[in-house]
Amino acid sequence: MTRATRRPALGRFAATLIATAALAACGGGGGNGDTPNPPAPQPQPLSVKLEKIGGYATGQFGVSAAEIPAYDATTQRLFVVNALAGKVDVLDLRVPANPVKIGEIDASGVLAGAEINSVAVHDGLVAVAIQAPVKTDAGRVALYRASDLTLLGSATVGALPDMITFTPDGKTVLLANEGEPSDDYQTDPEGSIAIVDVSSPAAPTVRIADFTAFNGQEATLRAQGVRIYGPGASAALDFEPEYIAISADGKTAWATLQENNAMAKIDIASATVTNILPLGFKDHGAPGNEMDVADEDGLINIRSLPGVRGLYLPDAMASYAVGGQTYLVTANEGDARAWGEGNNDYWAGDASKGFVEEFRVKHLVHTGGFDRRAGDDLPPQLRALGWGAQLNPTTFAYCGAVAGNPNACRNDDVLGRLNISWTMGYRTDALGNPVMFNAAGAEDPTGDRLMYDHLYSYGARSFSIWNGNGGLVWDSGAEFEKFFASDECKLGSARNIPCKDFFNSGHDEGSAKDSRSDAKGPEPEGVALGQVNGHTLAFIGLERMGGVLVYDITDPTAPKRLDYLNSREDWTTADPGTVLSTAGDLGPEGLVFIPAKRSPDGTPLVVVGNEVSGTTAVYRLNVSGGQP
């Protein structure tokens, strides 16, 4: 992703935890099932309430000055990626209510002009992922001593290392080398996973697990549901690892391939990608998968939308063990591929200067065709496919579509404002070429219109639990948006502001009710796991709506929401940056769970880096019940 929208790595602390599981699904279009183990006896009920007890503010708004936190119990220090500075801020957390900056890690000595993208810590050893000044060049991994910030060693890895995590034994770190293309798409490095032996920090050794073995298999992978669609890209060029989770035994890793709507499975010992796991889609026409897709009506209108399919496109991922199996928890953010957005030549029709897959439904199926958007937001690659597009009158009859005319389906308060991917959903022949239709809506080899049988939107507005083969075990469905629309949900540290008054708000604007409904809704991005009193908890950070949701996922087939805390305080000032000192926390990016036995004050904590407000928030878990 571009630097402005780069998505970090969040779950390096993710523990291996014990729970029970069986296989179930909510909506969806995935397979890859395992035979589940029978459920084990459940622990006693647990109550959790988050309380903000402190924080640290950089005083910088909207520039990603606080992103990824990592914690070292041996020194009681927080290490927080400050993307604005390209460094890591080091905070003393001995008094959790008052974190104090005591230093920083600057990787420019390792690589001139470098920026640090991610940080992980294991028993006094700090590992950072370093992006080269030209992001398509090879990056670095560097290792530091937590106690005095001494550089111990470094090594070269792949292009744009954007996430880093330790294996459970602390002897190996893995990096997701995202390998994004240049902004003009003229250079596109291969994505990969770097597997680094850090048992001797002064001399780390690197092996690369790449995707070249999947070159030539693109047609098969696409048929399975893997998105490979960059201009002229092979599998190795198109796959962009985003985030990594590791099994309890340290033998297997999984990496989200966000834009590809898939996961890669990696054998760590051999440094080999063993499988690509497609994640399928979420049927927003199915009961329980409803959503609000109109952002300009000022209303909460959560409804069933047949024909609309959500692509999970997960960002953060964490793992936990259940009866000998690994389960993966994902935050289904939904980033699109968008390069060349600021290049006038691209919008003027030069397809070699970028690739943007987002388009609104109202523009896609307008009876006046695509050219009415030329020079504005019409991707030239879409124009190359045809003159215009139509909606399948059978699938979309519920909103008025007929042959040759979408009618009310493209209205702003129906489907018109929804951002979808034009690269999917249109009818194709056996070779993958578009089947053309004429103006009357009849199939016609001489026609110039695409026929969209389904529309694919970004993200699932949910979090999901998957088995180790990529099979969907559970998804939160429409629960996030329905909760935010309820009288139960409250905002602010005092929990006294109705969520429904600011439903689907943006994270960098005020009085923004409903502003994100056309895109990805509350936009879940970060996830952290922790174990408290015999229960496995998931903490889900919401990038746009803000705040942290707490779920008990001890039974992966039946998670339960326990709490929600959003410590943004000002929801009405048009530009929150003008009231930054009192605005609270906006734009959660990375989360880390600190168990009571490793916490400075003996209580379980969650620390959140907030990229928009530039703040690091410290939350205490007030817990009752369960099995201490």
In this structure, of 31-45, 117-131, 278-292, the range with the lowest mean pLDDT score is: 31-45
Average pLDDT, the chain: 93
595: nearest Cα among 607, 603, 584: 603
pLDDT for res 8: 35
Q: Looking at residues 413-425, what average pLDDT do you find?
A: 98
* Confidence label for 57 from pLDDT (cuts 50, 70 and 90): very high
Both tokens assigned to 116: 């640090």
- The helix (H) or strand (E) run that includes residue 364 is helix 361-364
Q: Mean pLDDT throughout 374-401?
A: 98
At residue 617 the predicted structure's pLDDT band, cuts being 50, 70 and 90, is very high
Output the six-digit token pair for 48: 């959790």
Question: Domain segments of the chain: what residues?
Answer: 3-334+459-625, 344-456
Tell me the mean pLDDT in the region 514-543.
Answer: 97
Mean pLDDT (whole number) for 547-568:
97
Alpha-carbon gap, residue 559 to 330, rounded angstroms = 13
pLDDT for 4 beyond 60: no
- Which residues neighbour 578 within 8 Å (Cβ) at sequence distance 6 or greater? none
Cα 88 from chain centroid?
22
According to the model, what pLDDT value does residue 347 have? 96
Ranges of beta strands (E only) in 418-569 are 419-421, 449-452, 455-458, 463-467, 472-475, 490-491, 497-498, 524-532, 535-542, 548-552, 560-565
Who contacts 134 (Cβ-Cβ below 8 Å, separation ≥6)? none
| Three-state SS annotation for 31-84 | CCCCCCCCCCCCCCCEEEEEEEEEEEECCCCCCCCCCCEEEECCCCEEEEEECC
Is residue 446 very low, low, confident or very high in pLDDT (cuts 50, 70, 90)? very high
Q: Is the pLDDT of residue 35 over 60?
A: no
**Number of separate helices (H) and strands (E) present in the chain:** 7, 39
Q: What is the pLDDT of residue 323?
A: 86
The arithmetic mean of pLDDT across residues 521-547, rounded, is 97
Structure confidence by residue, pLDDT tens digits, 167-226 = 999 999 999 999 999 998 899 999 999 999 999 999 999 999 999 999 999 999 999 999
User: Which range, of 33-47, 419-433, 444-458, 473-487, averages the lowest pLDDT?
Assistant: 33-47
| pLDDT-based confidence at residue 11 (cuts at 50, 70, 90) | very low
Backbone φ and ψ for 258, nearest 5 degrees, come out as -60, -60
For tokens 């908890």, name the residue: 537
- How far apart (Å, rounded) are the C-alpha atoms in residues 314 and 72? 27
- The arithmetic mean of pLDDT across residues 407-433, rounded, is 97
- CA dist., res. 207 & res. 211, Å (int): 13
Q: How many residues does the chain have?
A: 628
Q: Which two tokens stand for residue 563?
A: 């709490």
The contacts of residue 600 (CB under 8 Å, 6+ apart) are 76, 93, 94, 95, 96
Q: For 35-73, b where at least 16 C-beta lie within 10 A, e where not — what string?
A: ebeebeeebeebebbbebbbbbbbebbbbbbbbbbbbbb
Q: What is the pLDDT of residue 41?
A: 52
- What distance in Å separates the CA atoms of residue 543 and residue 234, rounded to the nearest whole number? 31
- Percent of residues, the chain, with pLDDT higher than 90: 91
Say how far apart CA 77 and CA 359 lie, in whole Å. Answer: 44
Mean predicted confidence (pLDDT) in 346-362: 96
* pLDDT exceeds cutoff 90 at 296: yes
Summarised one tens digit per residue, pLDDT across range 13-28 is 333 333 333 323 333 4
pLDDT mean over 326-349: 96
Give the span between the Cα atoms of 385 and 433, in whole angstroms.
9
3-class secondary structure, 265: strand
Task: Give me the residue label for tokens 């051999």.
Answer: 270
**pLDDT computed for residue 322 by the predictor:** 87
Domain 3-334+459-625 has CATH 3.30.300.30: no
Residue 12 pLDDT more than 90? Answer: no
Secondary structure of residue 125 in the 3-state scheme: strand
Alpha carbons 120 and 359: distance in angstroms, whole number: 37
Q: 310 pLDDT exceeds 70? A: yes
Q: Provide the pLDDT for residue 627.
A: 84
Say how far apart CA 458 and CA 358 lie, in whole Å.
9
In the numeric block, the tokens 């589940």 are attached to 36
What is the C-alpha separation between 225 and 466, in angstroms, rounded?
Answer: 16
Residue 585 one-letter amino acid: D
d(CA 476, CA 460): 9
Model pLDDT, residue 36: 44
Is residue 237 pLDDT above 50, yes or no?
A: yes
Pair of tokens at residue 536: 């496995």
pLDDT value at position 335? Answer: 94
Q: What is the DSSP letter of 512?
A: -
Q: How far apart are the first and last CA of the chain?
A: 42
Residue 56: its pLDDT value, please? 98
